[in-house]
Homo-oligomer: A and B are copies of this chain.
Amino acid sequence: MLKQRPSLRIVFSILCAAPLVRAQAAVAEPPPLVTDGDPDRSIPPCSGCHQPNGGGSEEGAAARLAAIGEQYIANQIENFRNGNRNHPVMTPWAKELTGAEVKTLAAYYEALPPASNAVVPPRLKREDGQWLALYGDWPNRRLPACQQCHGPLGIGARDHFPALAGQPYSYLVNQMASWGTGARIGDHDGMMRAVAEKLSMAEAQRVAAFYASLPAQGAMEVATEIGSGERVPSAADLRPPGQGADSQPPQDAGPKKTGEQPMPHRGTPIGHQGPTPAGRDLVKGASYFEPPSRTERPEDDFGEMVAMGESIFSNTYSHEVSGKYVGNTQVCEGCHLDAGRLADSSPMWAARINYPAYRKKNDKVDTLVERVQGCFKYSMNVQASEVGTVPSAESRTIRALLSYMHWLATGAPVGDKDIPGRGYPKLEKTADGFEPERGAEVYAAHCAICHGENGEGGYAGAEMVFPPLWGEHSYNWGAGMHRINTAAAFIKANMPLGSYIELTEQQAWDLAAFMNSHERPQDPRFTGDLAETTEQFHGSEYDYYGKRKGTDGKLLGEGAMTPASRPAEAGGN
């Protein structure tokens, strides 16, 4: 997985991207509040705690502000003002500031070059927290990976997900404790609360050590330090949750602990893999197949292909091996969560054991190779890619993905069509059907924060963090997800990711309808005639293609994006 997705090309594009460039162009004189505060209003200088370089401090557990987004900083000052956050220094100070002052300060810090003053306690190592940061703990706790929102290696994504890389260790630990105990609130849909309250105190420390040990500038560069050649951490470097440094009694901490100390809980966890989550309309009482742990990946040639496959799976569009076959900014993991491991999210172990299989879509028996090629054709919109044709059966892309899927299915019984967790749990129609107009409201409330107000997705620099849901960078009109019933099933089972919110079935239907009432890349089976294509391929009642008007007033499919024509090369690699 490792959301750092990057080929080197992308690493460099990030290193040279917005914050740094802006900073170099505009290292401004600090405003007086930063250097001197305002004694008249009892405001201390910001740099007293946050330091002149804006890198924060361990002593005061003060955040790194340098190169943090202006909007995010302004929001936090507001949170101190309205009581969502509480701090003996910050709370009174924030209440004194004028709007103009907030804007000036926030802009100043955003423009600062990334800097860090973080110091990690010697007993902790970066690897100790790597697992939770990169993978979370879906199978047991529906705990998302930090980087699923905060971007690859915590470089930050969108306004609401600040950089974690290079934040002071003490600040990160404090914040996780505050979210988990309810001392800090105001997170959208309880996202941080849902995460933090599932963490043990020890886990919070490990995750903090991971991010604090990363440089504020150039965090992406350490991808190569952390990962193997293909940028998936070696199995030997991985410490699964509960097996980090603190499995030994900490040397520099208080009384000895026996085992993990859970954070105080506030509310009921949403559910977990293993026995089916209660309250979800999934397969009742089922025990899910468990793919092998990442630490069990073999350290041999096959294991290398598995690692490459996992990296491709999570970084499909930007991976140096597979990127040339992807015509949008999608990754396999976008529809198959937890890198294809998660039950009820069309997991790869269930696919692996059920192909070859007959598919109505193609009216023939497809092999697994052909099934995966189908994903490139539709979900990855290969038509707009560099190569323009799907990777061949002999390509490294296909071999790596099949190796990864094979390994994930280790021990699964071949041909078990009824294996619990296969595909998405089917969603029954509701009495009220589905309406994009209703879905638009749900979307604005719960989805736009990550996927963008216009479904454009969310990026960290050049890196996609939240998949685009419509438009030119989304899946095309031939992908399974364009069918409203499929999308509704996916949404109900999996979204919002790791949040406290649980959508109703009606909301899932409406969201799916809303998402798929927008224009997207053309169906590669397009015959040249919309009515004909609609009749041949889009007859389903769950399909708006050719039947409903999009926001441009034209029938959906009429304004579908088409790639410039490209030379069709063989996809060998």
Tell me the bound Cα distance from A366 to B367 in angstroms.
15
Nearest-neighbor residue (CB-CB) of A415 within chain B: B410
Tell me the bound Cα distance from A431 to B392 in angstroms.
48
A93 at the interface (CB under 8 A from B): no
Residues of B within 8 A of A304 (CB): 365
Are A399 and B302 in contact (CB-based, < 8 A)? no
Assign chain A's interface to a size class. Answer: 35 or more
A537 at the interface (CB under 8 A from B): no
A62 to chain B, nearest CB (A): 50
Are B414 and A365 in contact (CB-based, < 8 A)? no
A61 to chain B, nearest CB (A): 47
A155 to chain B, nearest CB (A): 32
Number of this chain's copies in the assembly equals 2
Tell me the bound Cα distance from A353 to B352 in angstroms.
10
Tell me the bound Cα distance from A411 to B305 in angstroms.
25
A83 at the interface (CB under 8 A from B): no
A206 to chain B, nearest CB (A): 31
Given A300-B358, A357-B302, A358-B302, also A393-B413 (CB < 8 A): no
A9 to chain B, nearest CB (A): 25
Residues of B within 8 A of A283 (CB): none
Are A367 and B365 in contact (CB-based, < 8 A)? no
A302 to chain B, nearest CB (A): 5
Tell me the bound Cα distance from A416 to B410 in angstroms.
7
Are A367 and B399 in contact (CB-based, < 8 A)? yes
Find residues 486-541 in chain A having any chain B CB closer than 8 Å to their own CB. none
Find residues 286-332 in chain A having any chain B CB closer than 8 Å to their own CB. 300-302, 304-305
A219 at the interface (CB under 8 A from B): no
Are B415 and A411 in contact (CB-based, < 8 A)? yes
A34 at the interface (CB under 8 A from B): no
A189 at the interface (CB under 8 A from B): no
Given A302-B356, A356-B305, also A394-B414 (CB < 8 A): no
A159 at the interface (CB under 8 A from B): no
Residues of B within 8 A of A394 (CB): 370, 393
Residues of B within 8 A of A402 (CB): 356, 367
Tell me the bound Cα distance from A416 to B413 in angstroms.
10
* Chain A 401-437: CB-based contact to B (< 8 A → 1; otherwise 0): 0110011011111111000000000000000000000
Report whether over half of chain A's contact residues are helix, strand or loop; otherwise say mixed: mixed
Most buried by B among A356, A392, A402, A410: A356
A561 at the interface (CB under 8 A from B): no
* Chain A 19-47: CB-based contact to B (< 8 A → 1; otherwise 0): 00000000000000000000000000000
Tell me the bound Cα distance from A369 to B403 in angstroms.
12
A158 to chain B, nearest CB (A): 37
Selected contact of A410 from candidates B302, B399, B414, CB within 8 Å: B414
A398 at the interface (CB under 8 A from B): yes
Residues of B within 8 A of A407 (CB): 415
Most buried by B among A355, A357, A369, A410: A369
Are B406 and A416 in contact (CB-based, < 8 A)? no
* Chain A 370-410: CB-based contact to B (< 8 A → 1; otherwise 0): 10000000000000000000001110001110110011011
Residues of B within 8 A of A412 (CB): 413-414
Nearest-neighbor residue (CB-CB) of A412 within chain B: B414
A413 to chain B, nearest CB (A): 5
Tell me the bound Cα distance from A394 to B403 in angstroms.
19
Can you list 21 A-B pairs with a CB-CB distance of less than 8 A?
A: A301-B358, A302-B357, A302-B358, A302-B365, A305-B356, A353-B414, A355-B406, A364-B399, A365-B403, A367-B369, A367-B398, A367-B402, A367-B403, A370-B394, A370-B399, A393-B393, A406-B414, A409-B415, A410-B415, A411-B413, A414-B414
With A366-B399, A406-B415, A409-B415 given, can you name 7 additional A-B contacts, CB distance below 8 Å?
Answer: A349-B414, A353-B414, A356-B406, A393-B394, A410-B414, A411-B416, A413-B414
